[in-house]
Chains A and B, each alone.
Chain A
């Protein structure tokens, strides 16, 4: 599998490590509820199809990336820097 890092270009997936679904949003702050945190930590849609997911280019530029990939075919349609994605999301919105 080849992932096109927005900074480093196309690299083998062995250079990256995987975290998982990018959709869950951490409930921040002292007022956050345990049930919301449980859902964030544990529950996943796990779709067969397009999946937005977090990868870390650990053997390259150490950027966290949001990769949009089809879990049935492994086809990648987008790779974006996670920090940019995170900065552009509005409060309460999933990534």
Chain B
């Protein structure tokens, strides 16, 4: 059923009784051309673009729980393409362009809101680092503006300009950045992929990966053996566990990142803002809650929850930046498990095993990458060659030294 204001009005008159399931809850068949493991945003987007761009429809997306139950539904909804290194820039910009046309493409309102992403700086050195980044963005045709203190004040007059421990001196602004309603991305891609014939199989956990003669032949699941010519892993957070099924060790650790939402209030802030001197970033959801976060907890974890030390750290950052937040109440905090890679950048590549493809290592940047990750991963799976925009995300870059280390933190995942 096509979604539009007319269908909504029509259904309103019929007591909403005519709506159909947004995607089929498919039972797994015994064989597919491509099996995508992971029904998160990336896996569903991959299925959609495999179908749409490459005409492959004999595809299953296997999800151990229900779709969208991982990081696509646990993040702080920020999208941006303000990266500084050539390995990242074209990829994230492609993602941003796909976001800009996504809703019309998949006929689903994911509330892509290009309200601007503002990164604050507090020293000359930080300003110059942002200038370096902004200039690289501009060279790639991406919008970037370096604001001075007054420019920042015009956007966010309520932050602390008078008594700050680390005074705000300006900011790097990407106006095209913003937020997207996270759950809707998973649901919208699921619906669009389903309409093109993709099987979305929920409650289907992969327990093994079958190989014959160095080639993948299928996956063992909680719902039986499923044969496949190609198997694509898109299970950020759990990548190492799947890789271990084929004895593969990866440059990845799983870490917990917490996220926070306040009670809903009337509009306070119109952009996404990042504090450059503390671990804090914030935006406001359309429903009114401030959505914010900070650093990862910093230890390996699969537990989807964090601890008080990080919570206090995030709130201190919030209060330091925006002292009016004091009486606003924290409503809920939760955690997601990240694939933290060794250089802070993702991997979209073939593996040493024919027919096994890897989309992993997204750190805390996976949500904004969803459309391009799906698009480029689909390209890799369909053509057995990397998409040019994701060509730098090779698995062997740690051996060759072609690292993509935006923060310069080296081989320590919890510092990226």
The SS class assigned to the A binding surface is mixed
Contacting pair B398 A18 (CB below 8 A): no
A81 within 8 A of B: no
Contacts of A39 in B (CB 8 A): 249
Report the bound CA distance from A46 to B248 in whole Å. 11
Known: A1-B307, A20-B253. A13 touches B241 (CB 8 A): no
The count of chain A contact residues (Cβ–Cβ below 8 Å) is: 28
> Of all chain B residues, which has the CB nearest A12?
B309
Most buried by A among B244, B299, B301, B398: B299
Contact A13 B309 (CB under 8 A): yes
* Distance of B333 from chain A, by nearest CB (Å): 15
Q: Judge whether B251 and A42 touch: CB under 8 Å.
A: yes
Q: Give the distance in Å from the alpha carbon of A43 to the alpha carbon of B414 in the complex.
A: 15
Would B250 and A46 count as touching, CB distance under 8 A?
yes
- Interface size bracket, B side: 20 to 34
Cβ of B302 and Cβ of A72 under 8 Å apart? yes
Q: How long is the Cα–Cα vector from A19 to B414 in the complex, in angstroms?
A: 8
Chain B 405-416 against A: per-residue CB contact (8 Å), 1 yes, 0 no? Answer: 000000111100
A83–B67 Cα distance when bound, in Å, is 46
Alpha-carbon separation in the docked complex, A14 to B414 (Å): 14
- Asked if A44 contacts B398 (CB within 8 A), the reply is no
A19 contacts which chain B residues (CB < 8 A)? Answer: 412
Produce 1/0 per residue, A49-69, CB < 8 A to B. Answer: 001010100000000000001
Q: Are A48 and B342 in contact (CB under 8 A)?
A: no
A48 near B250 with CB under 8 A, answer: no
Q: Which residues of A are in contact with B by a Cβ distance under 8 Å?
A: 1, 12-14, 17-21, 35, 38-39, 41-48, 51, 53, 55, 69, 71-74
A43-B251, A44-B249, A46-B250 known; A18+B309 contact, CB < 8 A: no
Decide if B369 is an interface residue (CB 8 Å cutoff): no
Contact with A along B290-318 (1 / 0, CB 8 A): 00000000111111000111001100000
Asked if B301 contacts A74 (CB within 8 A), the reply is yes
CB-based contact A45/B301 at 8 Å? no
| Contact flag A38-B254 (CB < 8 Å), given A12-B309, A73-B303 | no
Contact of A20 among B300, B301, B313, B399 (CB under 8 A): B300
> Any chain A CB within 8 A of the CB of B240?
yes
Of B250, B313, B412, which is within 8 A of A43 by CB?
B250
Question: In the complex, what residue of chain A is closest to B243 when comparing beta carbons?
Answer: A46
Q: Are A74 and B309 also in contact (CB < 8 A) when A20-B253, A43-B250, A44-B249 are?
A: no
Q: Is B89 an interface residue (CB 8 A)?
A: no
Is there a chain A Cβ closer than 8 Å to B201's Cβ? no
- Scan residues 64-81 of chain B and give those whose CB is less than 8 A from a CB of chain A: none
Chain B residues within an 8 Å CB radius of A46: 240-241, 250, 252-254, 300
State the total of A-B contacts with C-beta under 8 angstroms. Answer: 76
User: If the complex has contacts A1-B307, A46-B240, A71-B303, are A20 and B414 also in contact, measured as CB distance less than 8 A?
Assistant: yes
* In the complex with contacts A14-B309, A43-B250, A20-B413 CB distance below 8 A: yes
Contacts A18-B298, A20-B253, A45-B244 known; 18 new A-B pairs at CB < 8 A: A12-B308, A13-B299, A14-B308, A17-B298, A19-B412, A38-B398, A41-B342, A42-B342, A42-B398, A44-B249, A46-B250, A46-B252, A46-B254, A47-B241, A47-B244, A48-B241, A72-B303, A74-B301
Residues of B within 8 A of A48 (CB): 238, 241, 254, 302
Complex alpha-carbon distance, A3 and B309, angstroms: 13
Q: A46 CB to closest chain B CB, in angstroms?
A: 4
Using CB atoms, name the residue of chain B closest to A67: B299
B-side contacts of A72, CB under 8 Å: 302-303
Contact A44 B303 (CB under 8 A): no
Q: Are B411 and A53 in touch, CB under 8 angstroms? A: no
CB contacts (< 8 Å) of B249 on chain A: these are 39, 43-45
A19 to B255 CA separation, bound complex (whole angstroms): 12
A13→B241 CA distance, assembly (Å): 26
A19-B412, A42-B342, A46-B254 given as contacts; is B309 within 8 A of A53 (CB)? no
In whole Å, how far is B363's beta carbon from the nearest beta carbon of chain A? Answer: 14
Question: Which residues from B are CB-within-8-Å of A14?
Answer: 308-309, 312-313
Provide the residues of chain A in CB contact with B413, threshold 8 Å: 20
Closest to B413 in A: A20
**Within 8 Å CB of B301, what residues of A?**
71, 74
A45-B240 contact given A13-B307, A14-B309, A74-B303, CB 8 Å threshold: yes
Among B244, B301, B413, residue most surrounded by chain A Cβ atoms (within 10 Å): B301
Q: Complex Cα distance A12/B244, Å?
A: 32
Residues in chain A near residue B254, CB distance under 8 A:
46, 48, 71
CA distance A19 to B303 in the complex (A): 19
The answer to whether residues A53 and B300 also contact, given A13-B307, A42-B398 and a CB cut-off of 8 A, is: yes
